[in-house]
A and B are shown apart, each in its own frame.
Chain A
Amino acid sequence: MEVEVKAEAKEDARSTVRAIDRDGLERLLGLLREEGYRTIGPTVRDGAIVYDEIESVRDLPAGWKDEQAPGRYRLVRRPDDALFGHVVGPISWKAFLFRPRETLTAAARGEGGALEFRRAPFEPERAAFIGVRSCDLAAIAVQDTVFTGGPYVEPRYAALRRAAFIVAVNCLESGALCFCASMGTGPRARRGFDLALTEIEGRFTVEAGSDAGRRLLERLGAEEARAEDAARVEEGTARCAASMAKRMDPAGLPELLLGNLDHPRWDEVAARCLACANCTMVCPTCFCSTVEETSDLTGSSAGRVRVWGSCFTEEHGKVHGGSYRPEIKDRYRQWLTHKLASWVPQFGTSGCVGCGRCIAWCPVGIDITEEVAAIRASPGPVPDVQGLPLAPVPSPLPAPRAPAASSVEEDLVPRPAAVTAAVRETPDTVTLHVRPPQGFSFRPGQFNMLSLPGVGEVPISISGWDGTAVEHTIRAVGPVTRQLAALRPGQELGMRGPYGSSWPVDEAKGCPAWVVAGGLGLAPLRPLVRELIGRPEDFPEVRLIGGSRTPGDILFVREILGWIGRRNLQTHLTVDRAGPDWRGSIGVVTQLLDDASIEGVYFVCGPEIMMRFAVRRILEAGVPPQRVYVSMERNMKCAAGFCGCCQYGPLFVCKDGPVFRYDSVAYLFERSGF
């Protein structure tokens, strides 16, 4: 497998090969520090080899070897005093690029309540990573894609990555849990480094993989390596690859795993899995994070801090009202299918680099390769590969923001925006009209991230545009939405966006356009309805079907009444229960879909259970799934695909959605646990 390095092009390695001894290595460390790099490398601490600051070759783990087994790691003495005679430990390089805690934003409330948001001060330290193994080079390349591969670029990661100098080390001995050879990520470092070392009998061959590496090598003034040394690098790494006992067959893994979501093995592994998240913490590619709100006691100064998160926590899958992944089985399956299957369409590569960390550092020794092998050994009935979203999903929808710009910097810092009007829709729901920052434009179906400093940030659909302000319809259900819903004209909130995909309005040109809304789901559909009924020549037949709990819960009643008499709109409203003066239907929206038109294009948004039933009915009517669009909701912290919380199978609700063509989500739509 080829891993492309995107943040910085590294040139091919095999130009010059030099040779140095330990003194040479010491000089190399010295030169790096002279150039302003903090030198970070393997060192012994607390019974393991960890990456930490090293000041000298003396800090390297001379003569130590790591014995590894599932759930077990011990340092033992080697017969020699090799500096790099170990493989990988519990810490990976992501700790220095995607750091465990990063303050994103600082906010303050000034005189008169005016808000100010700043990107938290960020000094990208220049760090030289000493002893990066080939698997970890691949892992860094994977995270490069996650954080800088577009459409959004995470500026903090990008800055740390640009400032890093990478000194790789080729592995000549395999660890018991290594399986890089089968994953195609090692043991020979081929690219993605500035310098690569191979330790042979107390001496090192050094090859340069970049201009920066070459320049440093020149300054080091080392002698040319002998030809036989260069040959021993190839031989040694090849021998290492051949000796690797553990392996995982990556072939067809996405199909295998996504095709076996109900395999009994998931229950077996769930009985053992502690959902402690250690595998995701030690994994060099896992990138999920969550956000902590901080503030002083009065809320006048506040901040947002990103911390490492994990799909093994309940919080990861949590939205108001519950968790999408309540069971340990859901979480383990999410992790494994993401790592080995969904990752491929998301980022064009597997999320596993074969380093074996998750096996060693699982307290109960769950072995990812065994789990895969068990499913491969007894796959369920041949999966319906038809519905599997295996290729990088070619979105039929307009890409978020400017489709041409593949990389937009997203620093996750909101901007202050003032409320111009607050309209109460129902007892617990308010539409806030917010004057957006200059240059704001959106398409129906997109959402904004709205925030109050010290309180929190939530994704809120855009429910309209009043000519000067963008409308958001908010139900007060949690602490953030409660306080947002309580805002009054003149007060400020934080806004960033718009994000996400939109309703593909023009797909419905000339066809019957069916808009199916459940409860608050009408909010992101309202701008669509406005556009549809405003263009009767394009959309001669629009049908709005809306369901609510009670007549008092129907949103936008006045506007809906104003639509009566539009020649291209029919409106059907239904409620779960009502008093005697209700003249609409009583019951679920599904019953209003009995005459669903096979030519129609369907736009559906509402609670997931309502959408399931509605879509089922629409499809039963013979409508092809390509003509049905749904809008999904998941936990969301960043809205730019960095935090990983909103994953829905291989899709990110934030950047691939929230609007999806039904066929791209059909495979998961009827399941729970995703």
Chain B
Amino acid sequence: MTASPTSSSVPASDSEAPVRKPRLGVFKFASCDGCQLSLLDLEDELLAVAGAIDIAYFPEARTAMLPGPYDLSLVEGSISSPEQLEQVQEVRRQSRFLVTIGACATAGGIQALRNWADSAEYLRAVYARPEYIRTLETSTPIAAHVRVDFELRGCPISKEQLLEVITAFAVGRRPNVKDESVCLECKRRGTVCVVVARGMPCLGPVTHAGCGALCPAYDRGCYGCFGPRERANTGSLAGRFREGGAGEPELVRLFRGFTGYAEAFRKESEAHEPQ
């Protein structure tokens, strides 16, 4: 998918009429706020971003809420309550280019574990008076409800990738967000493979790159927080882990994590459930 510029971003000269700054909206559904916090975590670039684009709607950071439409909307969180079903439609109507940020928005998040559970039972487990709570049976990604123009993966997203998406949008290029395995990042940075050299289960080969291959660099296997990459051959990888001693319940948990509701991982985890 391709971000497109709000206007010709190759100005011929400075003498041209000033280009209207793109308007940014940041929206939240069910989430931990970590992905939108990544925008504030761009400490070195935050004020430059605020200079180049008009941060029109961002309740976590500013009180004024400028009305839409927004040229670029960053949407965090999954859809998990009846109100959100309507809100997400309105966000879509107000957005020219809608980017979902993070595992909740792109795959339903860790809270999508409820999709395999009895949510009434979940409610009772947490709340003494479940009747006070309004929630949906499922936690689902934004794309299950509205058209999404670009998905930025991660739990949380990488702030460098977030800056890249905003910059690519402003400049009008395709964001450098590669749909390839974590292994490429791992090898480019010279990390020793934890599957081969230590026998650890690692979802890197089937997981979308973008984190910079953090977990193997910290002596642990990837737990898939960027979700499945294209052509994720999860079955072959699961077979390898089974040979390495992983039992079926462990395989279910391995694929059923922060992006467990994404299709490739969902199917793989379900394949290891007791029949």
Binding site for B on A (CB under 8 A): 45-48, 50, 71-75, 89-91, 95, 100-101, 111-113, 271-278, 281-282, 290, 292-299, 307-308, 310, 312-315, 327-328, 360-365, 452, 454-456, 478-480, 482-483, 486-488, 490-491
Contacts and interface: CB of A to CB of B under 8 A. Distances in A.
B173 A480 contact: yes
Contacts of B204: 276
B205 A274 contact: yes
A175 to B, nearest CB: 14
A363 B180 contact: no
B4 interface: yes
B89 interface: no
B124 interface: no
B176 A486 contact: no
B240 A275 contact: no
Nearest to B49: A297
Interface string B129-141: 0000000000000
Nearest to B16: A113
Most chain B CB neighbours (cut-off 10 Å) among A75, A278, A487: A278
A71 B197 contact: no
Contacts of A47: 192, 197-198
A321 to B, nearest CB: 13
Contacts of A272: 233, 236
Contacts of A45: 192
19 contacts: A47-B198, A100-B190, A113-B10, A271-B233, A272-B233, A277-B183, A277-B187, A281-B187, A281-B188, A296-B48, A297-B166, A299-B10, A313-B180, A315-B178, A315-B180, A328-B231, A360-B196, A454-B173, A487-B10
Contacts of B5: 483
Nearest to B2: A479
B178 A313 contact: yes
Given A46-B191, A364-B236, A491-B12, A274 B174 contact: no
B172 interface: yes
A100 B45 CA distance: 26
A299 B196 contact: no
Given A45-B192, A299-B170, A275 B10 contact: no
Contacts of B233: 271-275, 328
A45 B173 CA distance: 39
B270 interface: no
Interface in B22-38: none
Nearest to B240: A364
Given A111-B14, A294-B176, A454 B171 contact: yes
A452 B240 contact: no
A282 B180 contact: no
Nearest to A91: B190
Given A274-B205, A281-B183, A100 B10 contact: no
Contacts of A294: 176
B196 A72 contact: yes
Given A276-B181, A297-B167, A363-B237, A455 B52 contact: no
Given A276-B181, A314-B230, A71 B176 contact: no
A360 B198 CA distance: 12
B9 interface: yes
Interface of B is mostly: loop
Interface size class of B (residues with CB under 8 A): 35 or more
A90 B193 CA distance: 8
Contacts of B239: 364
B170 A297 contact: yes
A123 B181 CA distance: 31
Nearest to B53: A297
* A-B residue pairs, 4 tightest by C-beta: A281-B187, A276-B205, A100-B188, A299-B171
A275 B231 contact: yes
Contacts of A364: 236-237, 239-240
Interface in B91-116: none
B197 A74 contact: yes
Most chain A CB neighbours (cut-off 10 Å) among B2, B48, B171, B174: B171
A274 B181 contact: yes
Nearest to A45: B192
B227 to A, nearest CB: 15
A274 B187 contact: no
Nearest to B178: A315
Contacts of B52: 297-298
Contacts of B173: 293, 295, 454-456, 479-480
Nearest to A480: B173
B60 interface: no
Most chain A CB neighbours (cut-off 10 Å) among B5, B11, B231, B240: B231
Nearest to A115: B10
Contacts of A75: 197
Nearest to B4: A479
B39 to A, nearest CB: 13
Given A100-B190, A315-B178, A328-B233, 9 more contacts: A47-B192, A112-B13, A281-B188, A295-B173, A298-B170, A361-B193, A363-B196, A363-B240, A365-B240
A454 B205 CA distance: 30
A382 B202 CA distance: 42
Contacts of A278: 183, 187, 193, 205
A134 B212 CA distance: 33
A72 B3 CA distance: 42
Nearest to B184: A277
Given A113-B11, A113-B12, A455-B10, A73 B197 contact: yes
Contacts of B240: 71, 363-365
B189 interface: yes
Contact of B8 (A307, A328, A483): A483
A91 B187 CA distance: 8
Contacts of B196: 71-73, 90, 360-363
Nearest to B171: A299
A480 to B, nearest CB: 7
A131 B48 CA distance: 48
B219 interface: yes
Contacts of A483: 5, 8-10, 172
